[in-house]
A and B are shown apart, each in its own frame.
Chain A
Amino acid sequence: MGAQIRVYRQKIVSTTSMRKIFKAMELIATSRIGKARARVSSSLPYANAITRAVSAVASQSEIDHPLTTEPEQIRRAAVLIMTSDRGLAGSYSATVLKQAESLLELLREEGKEVKPYLVGRKAQAYFDFRGRSYEQVWTGGTDAPEFETAREIGRVLLDQFGTDFEDGGVDEIHVVYTRFRSMVIQEPTVVRLLPLEVVEEEAGSESDLLPLYEYEPEPERVLDALLPRYIESRIFAALLQAAASELAARQRAMKSAGDNATDLIKKYTRLRNTARQAEITQELSEIVAGADALSAS
Chain B
Amino acid sequence: MAELEVEIVAADHFVWSGAATMVKARTSDGEIGILPGHSPVLAILAEGELAIQPVSGERLTVGVDGGFFSVDSNRVVIVADNARIGGSVTADTK
Q: Is the CB of B12 within 8 A of A212?
A: no
Q: Is the CB of A212 within 8 A of B27?
A: no
Q: Is A37 an interface residue (CB 8 A)?
A: no
Residue of A nearest to B29 (CB): A217
Most B CB within 10 A of own CB, among A42, A52, A53, A216: A216
| B45 shortest CB reach to chain A, Å | 9
Q: Which residues of A contact B81 (CB under 8 A)?
A: 229
Q: Is B32 an interface residue (CB 8 A)?
A: yes
Q: Is the CB of A216 within 8 A of B77?
A: no
With A46-B11, A236-B12 known to touch, is A56 a contact of B42 (CB < 8 Å)?
Answer: yes
| B36 shortest CB reach to chain A, Å | 15
Report the interface size for chain A: residues with CB under 8 A from the other chain. Answer: 27
Q: Which residues of B contact A221 (CB under 8 A)?
A: 28, 44
Known: A50-B79, A214-B40, A217-B43. 11 other contacts (CB 8 A): A43-B11, A45-B14, A53-B79, A212-B40, A213-B40, A216-B43, A217-B44, A222-B42, A229-B68, A233-B11, A236-B12
| A209 shortest CB reach to chain B, Å | 10
Q: Which residues of A contact B39 (CB under 8 A)?
A: 214
Q: Is B41 an interface residue (CB 8 A)?
A: yes
Counted as pairs of residues, one from A and one from B, with CB atoms less than 8 Å apart, the total is 78
**1/0 contact string of B20-39 vs chain A (CB within 8 Å):** 00000001110010000001
Complex formed: what's the CA distance from A212 to B11 in Å? 25
Q: List 28 A-B contacts (CB under 8 A).
A: A43-B11, A43-B12, A43-B13, A45-B7, A45-B9, A50-B79, A53-B68, A56-B70, A57-B42, A211-B72, A211-B73, A212-B40, A213-B42, A213-B70, A213-B72, A214-B40, A214-B42, A215-B41, A216-B28, A216-B42, A216-B43, A217-B27, A217-B44, A221-B44, A222-B68, A226-B44, A226-B68, A229-B79
Residue of B nearest to A207 (CB): B73
Residue of A nearest to B66 (CB): A225
Complex formed: what's the CA distance from A114 to B8 in Å? 39
Complex formed: what's the CA distance from A236 to B44 in Å? 21
Complex formed: what's the CA distance from A233 to B79 in Å? 11
Q: Is the CB of A215 within 8 A of B43?
A: yes
Main secondary structure of the interface of A (DSSP, over half): helix
Residue in contact with A216 in the complex, picked from B9, B12, B29, B72, CB distance below 8 Å: B29
Q: Is A39 an interface residue (CB 8 A)?
A: yes
Residue of B nearest to A210 (CB): B72
Q: Is the CB of A42 within 8 A of B13?
A: yes
B residues whose Cβ falls under 8 Å from a Cβ of A: 7, 9-14, 27-29, 32, 39-44, 67-68, 70, 72-73, 77, 79, 81
Residue in contact with A147 in the complex, picked from B11, B28, B43, B67, CB distance below 8 Å: B11
A residues whose Cβ falls under 8 Å from a Cβ of B: 39, 42-43, 45-46, 49-50, 52-53, 56-57, 147, 211-217, 221-222, 225-226, 229, 232-233, 236
With A214-B39, A216-B43 known to touch, is A39 a contact of B72 (CB < 8 Å)?
Answer: no
Complex formed: what's the CA distance from A60 to B94 in Å? 41
Q: Is the CB of B42 within 8 A of A215?
A: yes
Q: Is the CB of B12 within 8 A of A46?
A: yes
Q: Is the CB of A46 within 8 A of B29?
A: no
Complex formed: what's the CA distance from A228 to B29 in Å? 20
Q: Is the CB of B11 within 8 A of A214?
A: no
Q: Which residues of A contact B67 (CB under 8 A)?
A: 229
Q: Is the CB of B42 within 8 A of A46?
A: no
Complex formed: what's the CA distance from A12 to B74 in Å? 69
